Amino acid sequence: MQYLTKALQTDKITLKNRLIMAPLATSKSKEDGTVSDDVLAYYNEKSLGGYVSLFVIEHSYILQQGKASANQMSVTNDAVLEGLKQLATTIHNNGSKAVMQINFAGSASKSEITGEVVLGPSEVVNPLHGGEIPSPMSKEDIERIVDAFGKAAIRVKKAGFDGVEIHSAHGYLLNQFFSPLTNMRDDEYGGDVHNRIRIHLEVIKAVRDAVGEDFPILLRLAASDYKDGGITIDDSKIAAIEFEKAGVDILDISGGFCGYTRPGVKEPGYFSPLTEEIKKVVSIPVILTGGVKEANEAEQLLKDGKADLIGVARAIFKDSKWAERAITG
């Protein structure tokens, strides 16, 4: 595994190989979103031996109003810090690094879960998650959520993680702003692609201001909705260039309102046409996740230059020894 076992070094993070465990919601947190013993046991089992270079911890909500589901992990306040510190320490003690993915669900949330009004860019029911008609966000709502991303990021840093990932995929809020399917705004946050990523750039700035210049920022980008009238790869190439300029250190490419799969395609690395195009316009590392079940599939995708890092989730979820076999051969 010449390519999979090769180290990757940026000016902010060194990874001992190219294998990432992609985020996968476990629903194992306590009801209040704090880390449970089940969460610690799960990540301890997956990280034993340190064969995975980097774990991207499942999406965690930054405000109660942006909670996506019951037993989702929280980064909403300092009360969660102790559990998050234990989680980071558990993974580090096993020899891997970890970043936390932070998120606001927007129209993918449900008032019965959050106890609050469902928000979105526009009055459009979520094409992936369904649910309620969201209330269009005011400028004050946007400012409050941008600020919450920054505050969540500093908690991630205080907890001892190696970086933070901003979630803009799989039909959640930032994906909703980016996609013409759900963004019908006629203000500076709607219309052309530069306006639709305005909130992303504000979030990136808030996170960078919070964590400082040396802390890695990743961004999971819905590079295509694979739906008529949705996000296109041309949109995403423009966005990727702007995100790199704004200070994103690694781009993690996935789907938008198609979810984490590509319709009608089951081949390993099914988002590789997206990562291949994104790599043409940025100099930062790009993560490819989706459909990789065997180590030789990851090796071939890296060899072919489809991505710089390979994310695997379900294969490791099903078999905790998968990473060991992949790396040791």
Catalytic residues: 172
Helix/strand/coil for 17: coil
CB 200 within 8 A of CB 178: yes
Q: Which of 71, 73, 93 is nearest to 81 (CA)?
A: 73
The alpha carbon torsion through 39, 41, 43, 45 (nearest 10 deg) reads -160
- Angle, vertex CA 247, rays to CA 246 and CA 251, nearest 5: 105
- Distance, in Å, from the CA atom of 317 to the CA atom of 312, rounded to the nearest integer, reads 9
Buried b (16+ CB within 10 A) or exposed e, 83-106: bbebbbebbbebebbbbbbbbbbb
CA 24 centroid distance within chain:
10
CB 157 within 8 A of CB 173: no
CA 104 centroid distance within chain:
11
User: Is 267 exposed, middle or buried, given 0-12, 13-18 or 19+ CB atoms closer than 10 A?
Assistant: exposed
**Sequence-ordered list of residues with C-beta below 8 angstroms from that of 77, at least 6 positions apart, any chain:** none
- Distance, in Å, from the CA atom of 270 to the CA atom of 321, rounded to the nearest integer, reads 24
CB 272 within 8 A of CB 223: no
